[in-house]
Amino acid sequence: MATLKILIFPDPKLRTVAKPIKDVNDSIRKLAEDMLETMYSGEGIGLAGTQVDVHKRIIVIDVSNEKNDPLVLVNPVIKEVVNNENKAYSEGCLSVPGIYEELERPSAVEVSALDLDGKEFTFIAEDILSVVIQHEMDHLEGKMMVDFLSNLKREMIRKKMAKYKAT
Ligand code: GNR
Ligand code: NI
């Protein structure tokens, strides 16, 4: 296992659109393990390939309190917004460390993805899991939570990140 380096906003590589994974093989399984280790060591609850400069459609998540319920989604797709009601949630991002901003997103989504055996599975995500999946799927499109904020706020965050990187 290895921890991977996380790209920090405004690194332009975070804007890359990730490519579908054609074959869920041992190198993808190894990548998933390394991403989980990176996520756990950063005390995150999700991580997208994009954030570790691997531009493939893979995300890892663990929203459990005990940090013992890893979820890996390969080529995830939101099949349906199950509940059109938006819900506000204070979001953080390992690529924007120390910044928390309230964002609104659909409160429940139906997701399908491949597991690490390459088998498709489908489920309904609600609550924090729904938020994190949408946050991670944005990363795969090169989109970030700061994009939902005002230009002024984003500029302030850009300056904070320059200082963070200098430490
Ligand atoms: O660790 C994370 N916490 C979090 C909190 C609220 C909404 C989304 C997230 S995801 C984030 C980790 C991360 O940056 N994933 O891309
Ligand atoms: Ni993030």
pLDDT tens digit sequence for 55-92: 999 999 999 999 999 999 999 999 999 988 999 999 99
Atom of ligand 1 nearest to the CA of 44: 1
What percentage of the chain carries pLDDT values higher than 90?
96
Determine the Cα–Cα distance for residues 122 and 45; give it in Å rounded to an integer. 20
CB 46 near ligand 1, within 6 Å? yes
Pick from 50, 60, 93 the residue to mutate for probing ligand 1's pocket: most ligand atoms within 8 Å of its CB: 93
Predicted confidence at residue 88, as pLDDT, reads 98
Residues of the chain where predicted confidence (pLDDT) is lower than 50: none
Q: What is the pTM of this model?
A: 0.98
156 contact partners, CB below 8 Å, separation of at least 6: none
Predicted confidence at residue 165, as pLDDT, reads 85
Q: Among 59, 67, 44, 51, which Cα is nearest to 13's?
A: 51
Mark whether 136 is an active-site residue.
Answer: yes
Report residue 154 CA to chain centroid gap. Answer: 19
Domains of the chain plus CATH, in order, are 12-166 (3.90.45.10)
